Amino acid sequence: MAKFDPERDLPPELITAVGLLTIYATQADTGLVAILAAATQTKIAQADAMLHSTGSAKARADLVRAAVGSCDIPDAGKAASYDLLDRLVDLNAKRNEWIHGFWHLSDKPNTYQVTLYWPNRKTQEKIKPLDANTTAQVRAICDGYLKVTQELCLLSTRLANPPAPSA
């Protein structure tokens, strides 16, 4: 089997999309830090330490969900926040398939794929062929991150600046 060289073997637009995916996921994480800081009324550095001491992206979302749940905001706002966090967890799962997969040549000549190994699951691997749709799939996840990140920023602003109580 030939040696796989991503810079030679993958289309530049796919390499760019995967790089952007990493950046956008990090921006979303920054939004979570801002929400956690606002919800717990702590400094950004403390919220960052709390969030990144948590082992997984889902656990981070659960930590933020618990913090938002204790805030004095209407139930509708909490429900919207929980939905936003669920969407982020879903995006992170999709991102993880691309970022943590094993990128390699397949058995077919000049065909590449990403294989995921999932220990402790009935299906041990999931193969994602790299084809003409791959860049669009990765870009769609990027677009999802952009939208979620914008909503995370709005939520952190609302939590940091609650409306004054009415008289």
Residue 91 lies in a domain: yes
What is the per-residue pLDDT across 112-121, written as a single tens digit (0 to 9) for each? Answer: 788 776 666 6
Residue 35 lies in a domain: yes
Closest C-alpha to 65, from 36, 33, 24:
36
Domain that holds residue 85: 15-100+132-160
Per-residue pLDDT at 1 exceeds 60: no
Closest C-alpha to 128, from 93, 155, 104:
104
Residue 6 lies in a domain: no
Q: Report helix, strand and coil shares of the chain as percent, to nearest 5.
A: 65, 10, 25
What is the per-residue pLDDT across 39-97, written as a single tens digit (0 to 9) for each? Answer: 999 999 999 999 999 888 899 999 999 999 998 878 888 899 999 999 999 999 999 88
Report pLDDT for 62: 95
Report pLDDT for 102: 81
What is the per-residue pLDDT across 120-155, written as a single tens digit (0 to 9) for each? Answer: 666 656 677 787 788 999 999 999 999 999 999 998
Q: Provide the number of structural domains found in the chain.
A: 1
What is the per-residue pLDDT across 18-38, written as a single tens digit (0 to 9) for each? Answer: 999 999 999 999 999 999 999
